[in-house]
Structure 1
Amino acid sequence: MSVFDTCQEINDHLNRRDDVAARNSLIKLLRDMKEKGEAYPEVLNHLIRTTGLYPYMEIEAGSWEQRYVHAAFEVDVGDGRATLHREQSLVLGKLVRGANLAVSAPTSFGKSFIIDAFIALNSPNTVVIIVPTIALMDETRRRIFKKFSRRYSIITAPDTELGERNIFIFPQERVFGYLSKIEKIDLLVVDEFYKASRVHDKERAPSLIKAIIKLSKKSVQRYYLAPNIKKLTSNVFTDDMEFLELLDFNTVFLEKHEFYQEIGGDEGRKADKLIELIKPRTAKSLIYAGTYADINRVTNIVKKDMDVVDRPHTIHFSKWLRENYVRDWTLADLVERGTGVHNGSMHRCLSQIQIRLFEHEHGLDNIVSTSSIIEGVNTSAQNVIIWRSKIGSSKLKNFAYKNIIGRSGRMFKHFVGNIYLLDEPPKDEDAQLEIEFPEQILGDLDEEQDGDRLTPEQLDHIIEYRRSMSDIIGEEEFARLRRDNVLYDSDSEFLLHLATDMYNHPEEWNGFAFLNSDNPQHWERMLYKLMNFKSTGWESRFSHIVAATKAMSENWRWHLSRILDQLSDDGIGINDFFKLERTITYKLSALVSDANELHKIIINRDVDVSRFIGSVSRAFLPGPVYSLEEYGLPRMISKKIHRSKLMDFTTPDFGLNQAIKQFQDIGLDRMLKVASLTPFDRYVLKFFYDGITPSEQRLSAIA
Structure 2
Amino acid sequence: MTFEAVNWVEVGRNSGDDLKRSVFRLLRNASAAINGDDPHDPKLLEVVPRLADLIATKPELKSFKEAYSALARATGLWNYIDKSSADTADAIVAEAVTADELGVTFHREQIAVLNDLLAGRNVILSAPTSFGKSLLIDALLATGKYERIAIVLPTIALLDEFRRRLRRRFRDRFDVIMHPGDVVGDGPTIFLGTQERLLNRDDLGSLDLTVVDEFYKLDADRKDERSASLNAAVYRLLARSRQFFFLGPNIDTVRVSGGGRWQFNFIKTRFATVAVDTFDLRAIPDKRERLLEEIGKEENWPALVFVSSPDKANTLASEAAKEMAVTESRGEFSDWLGENVGSRWSVVRSVRFGFAVHHGRIPRAIASHMVRLFNTGHLPVLFCTSTLIEGVNTAAKTVLIYDKQIKRADYDFFTFSNIKGRAGRLGEHHIGRVFLFNEPPEQVEMEVSPTVFSDEDDAPDDYVVFLEDEDKSDVVEDRISELRRSLDLDPAGLRLAASIGLDVVAEIKRTVENRLRFSTQLVFRGQPDYDTIRVLVNVVTQVKKVGEYGAKSEAQLVLRISRLRRARTIKEFLREHDDNLQEKELDFDLVFKFLRACEYGLPQIFSIIEIYVKRKHPEADYHLFLRSLARWFRAEELKNLDEEGVPIQITERFHRNGDTYSSLVERLSTAVTSRSPQLSEFERAWVANALDIPLG
Q: Same fold by TM (over 0.5)?
A: yes
Aligned to 2:590: 576
Distance 2:343 2:523 in 1: 39
1:461 equivalent in alignment to 2:482: no
Distance 1:257 1:218 in 2: 48
Change (3 A) 1:347 1:97: same
Distance 1:640 1:238 in 2: 55
Aligned to 2:438: 423
Query: TM (normalized to structure 1)?
Result: 0.87
Change (3 A) 1:480 1:355: closer
Q: Is the 8 A contact 1:444 1:490 kept in 2?
A: no
- What is the DSSP-based 3-state SS (H/G/I as helix, E as strand, rest coil) of the residue aligned with 2:304? strand
Distance 1:594 1:11 in 2: 66
1:531-610 alignment runs, 5 A limit: 531-533=541-543, 538=548, 540=550, 541=552, 543=554, 544-557=556-569, 559-565=572-578, 568-569=581-582, 573-600=587-614, 602-610=615-623
Aligned to 2:360: 344
Aligned to 1:440: 461
What is the one-letter code of the residue matched to 2:305?
I
Aligned to 1:275: 292
What is the one-letter code of the residue matched to 2:499?
D
Shift of 1:204: 1.0
Distance 1:258 1:666 in 2: 49
1:370 equivalent in alignment to 2:385: yes
Distance 2:648 2:613 in 1: 33
> Which of residues 625, 641, 647 is equivalent to 1:634?
647
Distance 2:396 2:49 in 1: 16
Aligned to 1:5: 25
Q: Which has the higher contact order (CA 8 A, sep 6+)?
A: 1
Aligned to 2:678: 676
Distance 1:29 1:155 in 2: 42
Distance 1:65 1:369 in 2: 45
What is the one-letter code of the residue matched to 2:77?
L
Shift of 1:443: 5.6
RMSD after superposition: 2.8
Aligned to 2:240: 218
1:41-60 alignment runs, 5 A limit: 41-60=65-84
Distance 2:259 2:294 in 1: 45
Percentage of identical aligned residues: 26
What is the one-letter code of the residue matched to 1:374?
I
Shift of 1:336: 1.7
Q: Deviations over 1:658-698 (max 9, x none)?
A: 313542476345565332322322221112221xx6xxxxx
> Which of residues 8, 17, 23 is equivalent to 2:45?
23
1:396-545 alignment runs, 5 A limit: 396-436=411-451, 439-442=460-463, 444-446=465-467, 448-451=469-472, 457-468=475-486, 472=488, 478=490, 489=499, 491-495=501-505, 498=508, 506-507=516-517, 510-514=520-524, 516-517=526-527, 519-533=529-543, 538=548, 540=550, 541=552, 543=554, 544-545=556-557
Shift of 1:614: 0.9
Q: Which moved more, 1:135-144 or 1:30-39?
A: 30-39
> Which of residues 180, 189, 193 is equivalent to 1:170?
193
- What is the DSSP-based 3-state SS (H/G/I as helix, E as strand, rest coil) of the residue aligned with 1:2? helix
Q: Is the 8 A contact 1:54 1:84 kept in 2?
A: yes
Shift of 1:95: 1.1
Change (3 A) 1:514 1:232: same
What is the one-letter code of the residue matched to 2:365?
C
> Which of residues 320, 344, 347 is equivalent to 1:328?
344
Distance 1:237 1:226 in 2: 24
Distance 1:679 1:528 in 2: 46
Q: Which moved more, 1:394-403 or 1:14-23?
A: 14-23
Distance 1:377 1:444 in 2: 32
What is the one-letter code of the residue matched to 1:247?
T
Q: Deviations over 1:189-213 (max 9, x none)?
A: 1110111223434211111111112
Number of positions where the alignment pairs a residue of Structure 1 with one of Structure 2: 660
Shift of 1:500: 6.6
Aligned to 1:302: 320
Distance 2:417 2:535 in 1: 47
| Moved segments of 4+, more than 6 Å | 485-488
Aligned to 2:635: 622
Aligned to 2:305: 287
Shift of 1:561: 3.9
Shift of 1:639: 2.0
Distance 1:591 1:395 in 2: 31
Distance 1:23 1:606 in 2: 68
Shift of 1:169: 0.8
Shift of 1:533: 4.3
Q: Which moved more, 1:423-432 or 1:345-354?
A: 423-432
Shift of 1:413: 1.2
Q: Is the 8 A contact 1:539 1:579 kept in 2?
A: yes
Distance 2:471 2:518 in 1: 37
- What is the DSSP-based 3-state SS (H/G/I as helix, E as strand, rest coil) of the residue aligned with 1:132? coil
Change (3 A) 1:431 1:479: closer
Change (3 A) 1:236 1:295: farther
- What is the DSSP-based 3-state SS (H/G/I as helix, E as strand, rest coil) of the residue aligned with 1:553? helix
Change (3 A) 1:660 1:486: farther
- What is the DSSP-based 3-state SS (H/G/I as helix, E as strand, rest coil) of the residue aligned with 2:470? coil
Q: Is the 8 A contact 1:487 1:593 kept in 2?
A: no
1:375-386 alignment runs, 5 A limit: 375-386=390-401
Distance 1:94 1:536 in 2: 49
Q: Is the 8 A contact 2:52 2:430 kept in 1?
A: yes
Change (3 A) 1:365 1:27: same
Q: Deviations over 1:555-602 (max 9, x none)?
A: 4346134331366257794211111111222100111223334544x2
What is the one-letter code of the residue matched to 1:441?
D
Aligned to 1:696: none
What is the one-letter code of the residue matched to 2:561?
T
Structure 1: unaligned runs, 5 residues or longer: 643-647, 694-698
Shift of 1:542: 5.3
Distance 2:260 2:166 in 1: 26
Q: Is the 8 A contact 1:527 1:546 kept in 2?
A: yes
Q: Deviations over 1:333-384 (max 9, x none)?
A: 11121110010111001111111111123x1010001111211201131111
Q: Is the 8 A contact 1:440 1:493 kept in 2?
A: no
Change (3 A) 1:88 1:298: same
- What is the DSSP-based 3-state SS (H/G/I as helix, E as strand, rest coil) of the residue aligned with 1:624? helix
Shift of 1:603: 2.6
Aligned to 1:104: 126
Distance 1:67 1:382 in 2: 29
What is the one-letter code of the residue matched to 1:233?
R
Distance 2:314 2:664 in 1: 41
Shift of 1:553: 1.3
Aligned to 1:316: 332
Shift of 1:110: 0.9
Shift of 1:406: 0.7
1:142 equivalent in alignment to 2:142: no
What is the one-letter code of the residue matched to 2:588?
I
Q: Is the 8 A contact 2:395 2:428 kept in 1?
A: no
Structure 2: unaligned runs, 5 residues or longer: 1-20, 452-457
Q: Is the 8 A contact 1:592 1:613 kept in 2?
A: yes
Q: Is the 8 A contact 1:133 1:171 kept in 2?
A: yes
Q: Deviations over 1:167-225 (max 9, x none)?
A: 111111112321x2222111111110111223434211111111112222111111111
Query: TM (normalized to structure 2)?
Result: 0.88
